[in-house]
Structure 1
């Protein structure tokens, strides 16, 4: 194999040049800029400081206002999981929030066994309830325990008939999420799915 073709095959197909370091680097004076004075360099440095400072403050605000409160909600919901089902494998979000990463982190930190299989939450738009199968890991689509295959792709009355649970709305073709018109129906879907 030629050296040039070896080099070409080892090159990454994508390079992330949008991270903070790259964006700050692009604020440096361009080599073709006629004025390379210390004053111009200081102006570029000031722009870089403003960019980095604003991103730091945005991140700090996000973690204080969103990330930490969501973690607290997930922690409280995990503590109440045995109130829903003796298996401890179903969790209900009392208030919808970003929950997936928190769930994985908290399960590991708290050494939870068995792991959560289904998370129930209310869809703010439709006011219906969702049953979501938890993925095997944060970066995978495969579920720990998908909703029953015989439910996949069914809707409304067909799904209610097949499952024996009134008020069903849908189950996705892959079984990773389903819906019911009310909380009781969504909980029944999760409990039934655990047994199948």
Structure 2
């Protein structure tokens, strides 16, 4: 019996931020009814050394009501797996969605997130592992189940699609790539990013080659708890924070003209992580490279920051004027001709002010300033 570290489902409470329309992907809608077997249901996977992909796949399945009480049967005996299990992952040499067999090791298997969900994203072209396979077909329901249980919220159709894509991008994609041995670089840009190192940490939970006494199944369930906790945290961060931040950045972009005619200054009335969202939304609005500076609140003061060339770049489209750099307080105010300034970083990528008005004046003068 596996000790569940997550509470059971709670009643749904309506939240203004999360309107819901019951929808699922086409793939999810065509799922056949589970075959009737003895209860509880059984999830099958291979025995021996376990890997992050089937660990995460099994955890995701157990977030669904039909599998939440499922037992895990680990074997490489195909006959035993097919006779005992309601669903099989990462073993068996067959991918058949209707039969609920989800192996990816066969040479004929070529599927990626984008081939299964071409209407959601067309740039996820890494071959799926068992984690990616289960996520593609059940991920939207898994996300909603976790959110219902943990926060009593449900996402709207559009926000569910956003969360589904983003969680694949920053969590599952890495697992697919590592399990399939995909090189990170084929040219200048990385094909994927390693942000969790979860695969390596799960691998270390396997018993040592010299350890003949530790129960491998017990370690597998320990690995499910470790991986599952991180997966749930990622779902909550994306659905309850990342999407909300995107909405704030979208509003700032839409209202840019009211701040300055050139649309080069963005105003965030509520601070949130903005760089990655701005990069994506600029493409959506066809205004790439227009925004140069962004103003946001930070505690009891305000900041003016240069928009980076790329979200991770130290190079900016526009930084604060060179004569201001490295100055503070009264000296900075005199040099800039603006009251209530606090500092400008010595590189010019960010500056501080006591009030929104002072920050706006700093941004306006910076836009107009011409470097010698």
- Band the TM-score falls in, shorter-chain normalisation: 0.7 to 0.9
Query: Shift of residue 162 of structure 1?
Result: 1.4
Of 267, 292, 306, which aligns to 1:133?
306
Alpha-carbon contact 1:122-1:130 (below 8 Å) kept: yes
Q: Is 1:56 aligned to 2:231, yes or no?
A: yes
Q: Is 1:117 aligned to 2:292, yes or no?
A: yes
Where does residue 99 of structure 1 map in the other structure? 274
Where does residue 213 of structure 2 map in the other structure? 35
Where does residue 167 of structure 1 map in the other structure? 340
Of 334, 351, 363, which aligns to 1:178?
351
Alpha-carbon contact 1:169-1:179 (below 8 Å) kept: yes
Alpha-carbon contact 1:128-1:180 (below 8 Å) kept: yes
Deviations 1:14-66 (A, max 9, x none): xx8x7111111111121111226xxx121111111222222111110111111
Deviations 1:132-184 (A, max 9, x none): 11111122211111101011111122211111111111111111111122111
Alpha-carbon contact 2:289-2:317 (below 8 Å) kept: no
Further displaced range: 168-177 or 103-112:
103-112
Deviations 1:95-120 (A, max 9, x none): 11111111112112222155211111
Query: Shift of residue 188 of structure 1?
Result: 0.8
- TM-score when normalising by structure 2: 0.45
Change (3 A) 1:87 1:114: farther
Greater fraction of residues in helix = 1
Residues of 2 paired with 1:157 and 1:146: CA distance? 21
- TM-score when normalising by structure 1: 0.84
* Deviation beyond 4 Å, 4+ runs, structure 1: none
Alpha-carbon contact 1:88-1:114 (below 8 Å) kept: no
Alpha-carbon contact 2:266-2:295 (below 8 Å) kept: yes
Of 197, 202, 226, which aligns to 1:19?
197
Residues of 2 paired with 1:189 and 1:23: CA distance? 47
Of 262, 283, 295, which aligns to 1:108?
283
Query: Shift of residue 89 of structure 1?
Result: 0.8
Residues of 2 paired with 1:55 and 1:153: CA distance? 40
Residue ranges of structure 1 left out of the alignment (5+ in a row) = 1-15
Change (3 A) 1:81 1:155: same
